[in-house]
Amino acid sequence: MPDAGKEPVQQRIDSGTVADLYLQLLADRGIDYLFANAGTDFAPLIEAYAKSVEKGTPAPKPITCPHENVAMGMAMGHYAVTGRMAAVMVHVNVGTANSLCGLINAFRGNLPILFSAGRTPYTENGERVGRRTGEIHWPQEMRDQAAMVREVVKWDYELRAAEGVETAVDRALAIAMSEPRGPVYLTLPREVLAAEAAGLTISKPGRFHAASPPYPDPTAVAKAAAILAKAENPLIITSSFGVRPEEVAILADLAEKFAIPVTQRKPRYMSLPTDHPMHLGYNPDPFLDAADAIVVLDCDVPWIPGKTAPKADCPVIHVGSDPLMTPYPLRGFPTDVAITGLSGATLAALAIELHGKIPAARIDSRRKRLAETRQRQRERWKADLEKAKGETPIHPAWFTHCLNQVKGPDDIIVKESPIAWEQLDMSRPGTFFSIGAGGGLGWGLGTALGAKIADRKRRVICTVGDGAYMFGNPIPAHYVAKAEKLATLTVVFNNEMWGAVKRNTREVYPTGFAARSNREPLTYFEPGTKFERAIEVCDGYGERVEKPAEVPKAIERALKAVDSGQPALLNLICRGP
C-alpha cells in the first residue's frame, strides 16, 4: 500500500506502455512479488519486465509458477507471514478457472490478493498493438470472464483504457486491504497493456489508502461485558484469531486476568500459546453444555448444530471485522451481541469494561477449576500418545510428537494434513497456518513456498495429506522450490484414502452398505504410491517412512537436507480414520 508518511508528488510519464506503468505502480504501492502463470495475454508484461531489467526501473519480482494453485498458495503464504499483499496473474479465462480453489480459500479466509488475469484481445484486425494474433484468441473469449469469480472477490474490474490504470490499481489494493480483507480481481486486455502511457500523470506515493478498520461500539462492548461479568462458566471459541500476530498477547492477557478458557476449533493460526493456563485445546464441544456465556471470536463455525450446541438460554457474543460472516448464505448461530471491529481492539475494550466487575473470589475459583480440567485434558493427550507411539501404520500423533521434539520455536508449520494439534507446542504467534478456509484442497504446498519466500531465514514445514499433496500440483511446487531456492520440508501423510470423505460417509450412513463394506468406494487410493520420488525430479531429498521407530531419524535426515538448502519430502505411511 502507498506510504502515508510521504508527501505525494505528481510524476509525468514521458514514455512506455501501460504494462510498464502497471509494474511501476505495483512496485510503488508496495507489491513485492508477482506470482504468475503466463499465457499469450502476457506479451506486453513480459516486454515490460525485460525493459525494467535493462533500465533498472522498479517492478515486483516475477515468480514463474507452472500451475495456478501454486501461485495462489504462494500469495496466501506470503501475506500470512508478512501482512503484505502480493499479486497473482494468470492466463485469461482458463487460468482464472484453475485458480478458483485458491480464490475461494482466500475469500473465506479474508486473505487479500491482487488477483489478475489477461483478457482475450478484443480486436480482430487493424493496427492496434496487442490485437488477436493466434487461433486461441477466439475460443478463449467470454462475454463476462469475471462472472466466474464474482461471488468470491470483493471487487472486480476490467481495465478499459490507459487513463484508468492508476485508479484501478489503487482502488483494487485499497479495497483488498480494507476490513474484512480479501481478494480482488482485475482483468487486463492485451491491447490496453500494450497502449502508450506517455502523457499520463500519476501520484507517487499513491493517495488512495485502505479504509481504517471499524472500532468496536462502546455500547455493544458494555453489553457483552455485562454478560461475561455475570457468567460462571464463560468460554471463548476461535479459529481465525491470530492472523495479526500482535493481537495474540491481548487475548492471552484477557483470558489470564479473568480466567476465561479458550478453545480453538480447527485453528487456522496460533491463537494462544499452548502453555497458557487458559488454553483448553481444540474441541469446544465438551465445554458447551456447561457454558453460560460464549464469545465466538473470529470463528465461522463454533459448533455443528446437528451434533451439539450450547443450552438454549446461553448468550452468545460474536466478535470480528464481520461478526455475522455476511458472505455466508446460511449461518444461523444465536447472536445476542455482534461486535464489529478488529478483534484485538474489541478484546482490549472488553478487558477495560470488565475491570472490577467480576468478584475476585469467582475468578480464583474458576481458575482453580480450569487448572484441574486442563490437567485432566493434558493427561488424556499423554495417554493417547503412549497408545499411539507403537502403532503400525504410523499414527499421526506419534509423528507430530517426534516433529515437536526437534522443531524450533520460530519454525513455521503449515497444516493441510491430519497432524495432531494436541502434540504440538507453540509459543510464538505467526508459526502455524492452516488457511484453506474454503475447503479447496491443494493450498498447502504453495503456502509453504510463499511463507519461505517471505522469510528465508525460518524453517518451513509443510504437512499435507496424500490427497491434498496431489491436489497441490506437486511437480510445479517442487520446481518453484528448486528454481527460487526455497528449501522446505514437505511431509505427506499417506494413509491411502480420502479420510474426510470416508468419515463423513459413515456419519451420514453409520450402518449403511458403505460402512459395512469396510472399503468405501471413491475414498481409497491404491497402495504403493512413491511420493518420495516426486521431489527427486527437482533434485530434492525424498524418503519413505513406514515404521514408528524410523520416524525420529527420518525427520533428522530431512531437516539436515533442508538446512543445507535442499528441499526434502517424507512419505509417511500412516493410519487413516
5 SS3 class: coil
How many degrees, rounded to 5, is the angle at CA 37 between CA 70 and CA 64? 75
Digit-coded pLDDT (tens) for 247-275: 999 999 999 999 999 999 999 999 999 99
| Mean of all residue pLDDT scores within the chain | 97
Phi, psi for residue 464 in degrees, rounded to 5: -135, 150
- Considering only CA atoms, which of 98, 95, 114 is closest in space to residue 41? 95
Count: domains in the chain: 3
Tell me: do 161 and 60 sit in the same domain.
yes
Per residue in 417-426, pLDDT (tens digit) is: 999 999 999 9
Rounded to whole angstroms, the Cα distance separating 60 from 499 reads 40
**Distance between CA atoms of residues 498 and 100, nearest Å:** 21
Residue of higher predicted confidence among 381 and 3: 381
Would you say 409 and 427 are in contact if contact means Cβ atoms under 8 Å apart? yes
Q: What does the pLDDT look like over 494-529, one tens digit per residue?
A: 999 888 899 999 999 999 999 999 889 999 999 999
Beta bridge partners of 89: 36, 116
In degrees and rounded to multiples of 5, residue 535 shows phi and psi of: -70, -25
Q: Is the pLDDT of residue 5 over 70?
A: no
Q: Is the pLDDT of residue 144 over 70?
A: yes
Q: At what angle do helices 68-82 and 474-483 cross, to 10 degrees?
A: 60
Q: Does residue 213 sit within a domain? A: no
DSSP, collapsed to helix, strand or coil, labels residue 570 as strand
Residue 507 lies in a domain: yes
Give pLDDT, residue 1: 63
How far is 157 from 172, CA to CA, in rounded Å?
9
Examine residue 3 and state whether it is found in any structural domain, yes or no: no
489 beta partners: 461, 568
Same domain, 98 and 139: yes
- Closest Cα to residue 115, out of 89, 77, 94? 89
Provide the grid cell at 447.
503456502
Picking from 344, 377, 410, the residue at the C-terminal end of a domain is 377
Same domain membership, residue 520 and residue 395: yes
Angstrom distance (rounded) from CA 50 to CA 267: 43
* Residue where a domain stops, chosen among 204, 226, 255: 204
What CATH number should be reported for the domain holding residue 253? 3.40.50.1220
Are 514 and 545 within one domain?
yes
26 found inside a domain: yes
Average pLDDT of the residues in 352-371? 98
Q: Is the pTM value of this prediction over 0.95?
A: yes
Find the domain containing 346 and state its range.
218-377
- Mapping DSSP onto H, E and C, the string for 120-158 reads CCCCCCCCCCCCCCCHHHCCCCCCCHHHHCHHHCCCEEE
392 has a pLDDT exceeding 70: yes
pLDDT average, residue stretch 437-452 = 97
What integer pLDDT is reported at residue 445 of this predicted model?
Answer: 98
Q: List all residues 6 or more positions away from 220 whose beta carbon is below 8 Å from its beta carbon.
A: 337, 338, 339
- The answer to whether position 384 is within a domain reads no
Rounded Cα distance between 449 and 456, Å, is 10
Q: Which amino acid is at 90?
A: V
Per-residue pLDDT averaged across 60-72, rounded?
98
**pLDDT score at 3:** 66
User: Does 44 lie in the same domain as 130?
Assistant: yes
- pLDDT band for position 532 (cuts 50, 70, 90): very high
CA atoms within 13 Å, Cβ hemisphere of 472: 31
- Non-local (6+) Cβ contacts of 525 within 8 A are 466, 467, 496, 497
Reply yes or no on whether the pLDDT at 298 is more than 80. Answer: yes
Note the helical H segments in 179-233: 190-194, 218-230
Asked if 242 and 145 sit in the same domain, the reply is: no
Q: Are residues 182 and 301 in the same domain?
A: no
pLDDT at 4: 63
Residue 190, in any domain of the structure: yes
Provide the CATH number for the domain around residue 29: 3.40.50.970
> How far is 210 from 205, CA to CA, in rounded Å?
14
Q: Which residues of 254-280 are buried (b: 16+ CB within 10 A; e: fewer)?
A: bbeebbbbbbbbebbbbbbbbebebbb
Residue positions counted in the chain:
577
Confidence of residue 136 (pLDDT cuts 50, 70, 90): very high
Asked if residue 430 and residue 364 are part of one domain, the reply reads: no
Same domain, 139 and 267: no
**Residue 2 above 90 pLDDT?**
no
- Domain final position from 146, 181, 204: 204
pLDDT of residue 498: 84
253 and 360 in a single domain? The answer is yes
Alpha-carbon span 323 to 318, nearest angstrom: 5
Rounded CA-CA distance 325/300 in Å is 7
Q: Are residues 507 and 445 in the same domain?
A: yes
- 8 Å CB contact between 196 and 162: yes
C-alpha–C-alpha distance, residues 315 and 293, integer Å: 5
Evaluate whether residue 1 is within a structural domain.
Answer: no
Predicted local distance difference test score (pLDDT) of residue 7: 81
241 and 365 belong to one structural domain: yes
In the chain, % helix, strand, coil (3-state, to 5) comes to 40, 15, 40
Instruction: Return the DSSP state at 552.
Output: H
Alpha-carbon span 92 to 88, nearest angstrom? 12
Element (H, E) at 576: none
Among residues 72, 88, 115, 95, the alpha carbon closest in space to that of 33 is found at 88
Percent of the chain residues past pLDDT 90, beyond the cut = 95
- Name the pairing type of β-strands 568-573 and 489-494: parallel
Bridge partners of 490, per DSSP, are 462, 569
Q: Judge whether 567 lies within some domain.
A: yes
- Per-residue pLDDT averaged across 163-178, rounded? 98
